[in-house]
Amino acid sequence: MASRNCAGLAVSAAASSSRQSALLHTRALSTTAPSSSQCAPVTSRCKSRCSSHCNEKSSHWSGAGLTVGSYSRARQVHSSTAVLAPPKAASPSAPAGSLPPFARRHPQLYAAIQPPPNAALAALAARLRLIGPSSSKEEQERRIRLVAQACTHPSFAQVLQRARDAQRKLERPGAESSVAIESDVQHNAQLEALGNSLLGLLGSEALHLKYPHLPTRVLKAALSAYVGSNTTADVGGELGLAAPGMIRWDRGEEGEQMPRKTSPSKPAEEGRSSPVVSSKDARSSSVKALIGLIYQENGIDAVKDLLHTRFLSRTVDLAGMLKFEDPKRVLSNTCLKYGRERPQSRMIAETGRLSNTPLFVIGVYSGELKLGEGFGSSIRMAEFRAAEDALRRLYLAQAPFDPQNLPSSTLQASSAPWESPAVGTKPYSAPPLGASEVLHGSRV
């Protein structure tokens, strides 16, 4: 009876020690959450520790009358409990039961009505020099709210209306709303109109003074290329407006395809929603609104600095915008207008006149002044290209451009032309205007 009790105590001691070793191994794995390569040495270390423990107890088990079969079964139980797999890590996302019913039923709509991150708005305001280290806390909060308004498209009101309708269908009448939805939203329509006018004013001013002989239609095309919707959308991407959640606008209902955008002169039919705004249009609208906000808060000098840094510093192919139906006739009338001699074509070089691949180089001259040069497989083609080259040289000629001496600089009261200039600044002098182009035979 004593031997049986001793054997029972030995088996229970072995089982408890095996459970303690397995618990230590499991805690080590769950605490550090190692990879498969890191688990191998830990598992082998636990196995060696368990083997040494069992070897120490084997003499006592044999002395207590423990059979070989019971000893091997104890080893199997010990090994199976010591090599447990690490527990699965908890999911970082919150369980579905913690979200309100509105968020589970309409996840995209719930994400669309969330406000932009305050840190991202503050970073954007600092990037545009709307806030700085010297700004007070109240001033920073006010301007961050204005930046959030500039990043809110007017179509966002439709998103809020859809969210209210969806929440009304899900919740019982009289119950407290589980999701807070804004009752009124401040959008960027007025700031966008102000910024668009400023871009047109300052952009056309700079291009007109830099290229004084540029044709009017080409000037409009160049202005659209420099400060148009595509460029403002690209600038918005550079400023970080393409980040998720920065701009709030109507992306359309879930599963809805984007319809074609209708003309502003043709409103949408009754009973049909307005067209979905694309992300490019939303970025362009926000950039124009931010420019209007910068003008309102920091003045026109800050807008001019942003315009010349972000917009007018881009490379635009203006030569490709100049197209002529009869450049030789346009060049002749232009020389007559400026009091120059009529242009004449002169052969500069030729090769292969009698071959299948001839090449002619023609120069067009006004007296001794060379106006342009062109080449072609025929004399007529070379003369056509030479006249085009002469007109491009004239229209794309750049005048000395001083960003500090622009007509818009007189908008500041301290630099008005009828007042004495400030210390260290020179008075404004009006730059000369370019002559109007010859319209005959020219087109964009």
Q: Which pLDDT belongs to residue 16?
A: 52
Mean residue pLDDT of the chain comes to: 77
Contact 366, 343 (CB under 8 A): yes
Query: How many CB atoms within 10 Å of residue 256?
Result: 10
Average pLDDT over residues 237-247: 94
- Classified as helix, coil or strand, 348 is strand
Which residues, in sequence order, are CB contacts of 149 under 8 Å at separation 6+?
Answer: 186, 187, 188, 191, 289
Kindly report the CA angle at 84 between 83 and 89, in degrees rounded to 5? 140
CA distance 157 to 187: 8
pLDDT tens digits, 146-196: 999 999 999 999 999 998 888 888 877 666 666 778 878 899 999 999 999
Has residue 78 got a pLDDT over 60?
A: no
CA distance 430 to 418: 13
Flag the least confident range among 107-111, 199-203, 349-353, 408-412. 408-412
CA distance 189 to 53: 78
Tokens standing for 346? Answer: 């002169």
DSSP 366-400: ETTEEEEEEEESSHHHHHHHHHHHHHHHHHTPPPP
Has residue 123 got a pLDDT over 70?
A: yes
Flag the least confident range among 132-136, 267-271, 328-332, 338-342. 267-271
Residue type, 286: S
Look-up: residue for tokens 């009869």? 326
CA nearest 31: which of 118, 96, 95, 89?
A: 89
pLDDT over 70 for what percent of the chain?
A: 66
DSSP 234-258: HHHHHHTTTSTTSSB----STTPPP
Residue type, 444: V
CA distance 375 to 358: 10
Per the model's pLDDT, the better-predicted residue between 96 and 312 turns out to be 312
Q: Which pLDDT belongs to residue 273?
A: 52
Residue type, 160: L
Please give the sequence-ordered ranges of beta strands (E in DSSP) within 252-358, or none if there are none: 323-324, 344-351
Average pLDDT over residues 310-339: 92
CA distance 395 to 39: 75
Residue type, 319: A
SS3 per-residue string spanning 121-145: HHHHHHHCCCCCCCCCHHHHHHHHH
pLDDT tens digits, 40-66: 444 455 445 545 544 544 444 444 444
Which residues, in sequence order, are CB contacts of 100 under 8 Å at separation 6+?
Answer: 178, 179
